[in-house]
Structure 1
Amino acid sequence: MSAAPTVDSVLQGQADLKEWQEGVYRDLHAHPELGHQETRTAGMVAAELRERGFDVHEKVGGTGVVGVLANGDGPVVLMRADMDALPVAEATGLPYASSVRTTDADGNEVPVMHACGHDVHVACLLGTARLLAGAKEGWSGTYVALFQPAEELADGADRMVDAGLARLIPKPDVAFAQHVLAYPAGTVGPHPGPFLSLAESMRVTVHGRGSHGSMPHLSVDPVVLAAMIVVRLQAVVSREIPPDEFAVLTVGRVAVGSKSNIIDDHAVLELNLRAYSEETRSRMVAAIERIVRAECEASGSPTEPEFETYDRYPLTDNDPAVTARVAAAFREHFGDATKDYGRQTASEDFSAVPDALGVPYSYWALGGIDPELYRTAADRGTLMEDIPGNHSPKFAPVIEPTLETGTAAAVVAALAWLAPSGQDGDTSSPASS
């Protein structure tokens, strides 16, 4: 039995939301907030959910908001949107561009921009909440709208879990999330299995012996030591990871010295690792530690190096059965606009929520680039040059059809479980049975 009539009945109110939803998006984009500072956004979200009849929990894990809409018997579906922005100076030239500056957690004054599209996610989930609340005759069960802080800090999901999320909501049967990416707007991209990489950052401190710049023979130069480590690390992925296994090891920062005629006594390297398996991550970590220790010994370092890991993201590993069900629903509704964009190298903390709750999940790509602009760049072979990606100061998803598609995708996925046709037989995925 097709769910199309039910989907159509819920989405028939979407045109009436257009002006309101686009206004919400522009407002969010013009007023971005850093992780754990999303008080304005959270207040807007909570007020909207209450107005639509959701039971609302605020300040979950800091600034998190959870809305629960119960509508009779049936499955429980959770959909998550992240709310935080980035310390980036916007350069889009949009009339609603951000000019916000704020103080970050370290006390630094920084610009703020929705450079990763989380404003799209919030606007889409609020639109979905309105549509489901306004068409309760078309579905039954419970819908949980979860608005998460601090995805960019890698701890927002964990904080919500640690704050007792499981006690605030009925246990979901399935969980969803989506992310706007630099693909044509109007498309959606479900993908089974690993979709976003696991990641972690590592801060390495190596020690030398300080001296005057004119007396290098009295020093153990940490600049030379750090340079040798950087060069040696370039061979970890190319020579120690199998060619068919994805891995990234980036040296993102090297900090050493304060003046040209001073040889400092230490250097700090900050690394970023990405992989699709814990085995590969562990292999890279072991190689890093081996190389750093060996280079320190070769340089005569007087003190053992120090290793600190931070900003660790889990693997986003989509449940195959759930994703197949979502993809089938997308194909029925979106047709050829349903794509498989494959695995992505970025990372996310969303999966910490369903993993902690013990439920299967699916996370899909949402296109956000003007289709004609994307097509022209693709034809020229200039996608990387002409299409700004996430975290760029020029990242600017086109408002439509991005919001319309993202909202429809969230509704279609939910109704694959909540519509009467979605509740024939077992409402869980085989993997969770």
Structure 2
Amino acid sequence: MGVRVTVSVLALAAVLSTPAFAASNTAKVEAAAKVVQPKVVAWRRDVHEHPELGNQEVRTAALVAKELKALGLEVREGVGKTGVVGVLKGGKPGKVVALRADMDALPVLEKTGLPFASKATATWEGKTVPVMHACGHDTHVAMLLGAATVLAGMKADIAGTVVFIFQPAEEGPQAGDEGGAKLMIADGALDNPKVDAIFGVHIGPGDANAMNYRPEGFYAGADRLTITVKGKQTHGARPWAGIDMASVSADIIQALNQIAARQIDVGTSPTVLTIATINMGVRNNIIPEDLVMSGTLRTFTPERKAEVIAKTQKAVAAIGDRYGAKAEAVFTQPYPVTWNDAALSKWVKAPLEKASPGKVDDQAALITGAEDFSLYGQKVPAVFVQLGGRKADVPAAGAPANHSPYFDIDEAVLETGVKAEVFMALDYLARK
């Protein structure tokens, strides 16, 4: 289940206890992160080659639990369905800090050509789909295991407790299911011990080793949009005898595009309303009775969210009425805005600078991507950070984004991610 490597906790402990590093935690962490880097890369490749969809992360969770137990951590499995929580109690009393990684992959057919590319398939909402770590969660798992290894080697000197949260289903559960941060919290991921603050790192296509974040609102809030239309089936040669679902879907898409472009001021608050799937029909010459469309809404304020939902529902219902069909828009699976605690955001720049000197931007642009890390931030002070992972030979303008079948990273940045997580945890616990 694990990966064969030569690095051990004893080897790290030897590095960390070397007199040359005794005076500097920074030097200790840098040395330990370098030692564990081959293991982090091996973990990343193993998880990447064996991706699992949300709430199906059985193999990944078993790997995580095995490695955490080998480090001597207290481990809870089956948290939030397939989640894992590891607890490292330091040698001295103090506060409790949490670090979080997500484990789930996406229904994407990988096209990277990597020697460890995924060939996996799985069932998602009734369909057999290809599976790929197209959002970098494989790297998140590997980096957090690396951070756990480094911190376990420094256990005696840690003043407090570090909680490692490995979460399933960040991308959202299947329709009608539950999962992700919501269930992790309900299952006590932030309790026993009670967490005082939490940090997270997400990799992306930015400049390698760049670390970006901003105080307060950072990632957008998200809602899943499902549109259902009930019409009248007819022959494709006689569209007037039924309700043309293709025309209905086209009108709905045009109307929704106009909401974001013409009916609200996107200058005051970024807004994205996207239709991503259209499902109707089984034959080329039958106009079907049913149409189902799905998409996503991204907003940064509750007021904007309510406004767009109201306009969308009104427009969809009106288009259905015009065609003589019944059309309804429903919004579910809400993620709030990922909110970085203002005071913690100001403080965290120093530990991030130690991880990636001169490459930290604490006033990054708003991100229209969404994260259920936001739910932890509603419970305890939180900071979420982006780590750039683009390879040097990939132009910035054409770099494949997260969720692309070509998404890949420069594995050298994993060492930076490990250091960032370790420094955030150690420095937080050392705060007076």
Q: Counterpart of 1:390?
A: 402
Q: Counterpart of 2:107?
A: 87
Q: Separation in 2 of the partners of 1:391 and 1:352?
A: 22
Assess, with a 3 A threshold, how the Cα gap between structure 1 residues 212 and 249 changes in structure 2: closer, same or farther: same
Q: Counterpart of 1:30?
A: 49
- Indicate which of 362, 383, 405 corresponds to 2:416: 405
Q: The residue matched to 1:152 in structure 2 has which SS?
A: coil
**Structure 2 residue 212 is matched with structure 1 residue 189:** yes
Q: Separation in 1 of the partners of 2:27 and 2:88?
A: 20
- Indicate which of 217, 234, 237 corresponds to 2:260: 237
Q: Separation in 2 of the partners of 1:175 and 1:297?
A: 48
Q: Separation in 1 of the partners of 2:216 and 2:263?
A: 24
Q: Which runs of 5+ in 1 are unaligned?
A: 425-433
**Structure 2 residue 311 is matched with structure 1 residue 299:** no
Q: How does 1:134-173 map to 2 (within 5 A)?
A: 134-153=153-172, 155-167=179-191, 169-173=192-196
Assess, with a 3 A threshold, how the Cα gap between structure 1 residues 7 and 209 changes in structure 2: closer, same or farther: same
Per-residue CA shift, 1:29-54, capped at 9, x if unaligned? 11111111211111111111112121
- TM, length-normalised to structure 2: 0.88
Q: Which runs of 5+ in 2 are unaligned?
A: 1-22, 174-178
Q: Counterpart of 1:430?
A: none
**Structure 2 residue 351 is matched with structure 1 residue 329:** yes
Q: Counterpart of 1:285?
A: 309
Q: Separation in 2 of the partners of 1:270 and 1:387?
A: 27
Deviation at 1:24, TM superposition (A): 1.6
Q: How many residues align?
A: 402
Q: Separation in 2 of the partners of 1:200 and 1:320?
A: 25
> CA contact under 8 A between 1:45 and 1:126: conserved in structure 2?
yes
Assess, with a 3 A threshold, how the Cα gap between structure 1 residues 332 and 46 changes in structure 2: closer, same or farther: closer
- Indicate which of 109, 119, 143 corresponds to 2:128: 109
Q: Separation in 1 of the partners of 2:70 and 2:336?
A: 35
Give the root-mean-square deviation of aligned CA atoms.
1.9
Q: Separation in 2 of the partners of 1:108 and 1:312?
A: 24
- Which range moved further: 292-301 or 59-68? 292-301
Q: The residue matched to 1:396 in structure 2 has which SS?
A: coil
**Structure 2 residue 325 is matched with structure 1 residue 266:** no
- Which range moved further: 237-246 or 255-264? 255-264
Q: Separation in 2 of the partners of 1:9 and 1:170?
A: 27
**Structure 2 residue 290 is matched with structure 1 residue 246:** no
Q: The residue matched to 1:191 in structure 2 has which SS?
A: coil
Q: The residue matched to 2:278 in structure 1 has which SS?
A: strand
Deviation at 1:109, TM superposition (A): 2.6
- Indicate which of 38, 42, 56 corresponds to 1:19: 38
Q: Counterpart of 2:82?
A: 63
> CA contact under 8 A between 2:355 and 2:416: conserved in structure 1?
no
**Structure 2 residue 368 is matched with structure 1 residue 345:** yes
Q: Separation in 1 of the partners of 2:306 and 2:105?
A: 30
Q: Separation in 2 of the partners of 1:264 and 1:287?
A: 27
> CA contact under 8 A between 1:6 and 1:138: conserved in structure 2?
no
Assess, with a 3 A threshold, how the Cα gap between structure 1 residues 342 and 141 changes in structure 2: closer, same or farther: same
- Which range moved further: 21-30 or 306-315? 306-315
- Which range moved further: 410-419 or 117-126? 410-419
Assess, with a 3 A threshold, how the Cα gap between structure 1 residues 300 and 178 changes in structure 2: closer, same or farther: same
Deviation at 1:284, TM superposition (A): 0.8
> CA contact under 8 A between 1:322 and 1:362: conserved in structure 2?
yes
> CA contact under 8 A between 1:75 and 1:142: conserved in structure 2?
yes
Q: The residue matched to 2:77 in structure 1 has which SS?
A: strand
**Greater helix share, structure number:** 1
**Structure 2 residue 89 is matched with structure 1 residue 77:** no
Q: The residue matched to 1:75 in structure 2 has which SS?
A: strand
Q: Counterpart of 2:341?
A: 319
Assess, with a 3 A threshold, how the Cα gap between structure 1 residues 263 and 46 changes in structure 2: closer, same or farther: closer
Q: Separation in 2 of the partners of 1:89 and 1:21?
A: 24
> CA contact under 8 A between 1:188 and 1:409: conserved in structure 2?
no
Letter in 2 for 1:85: A
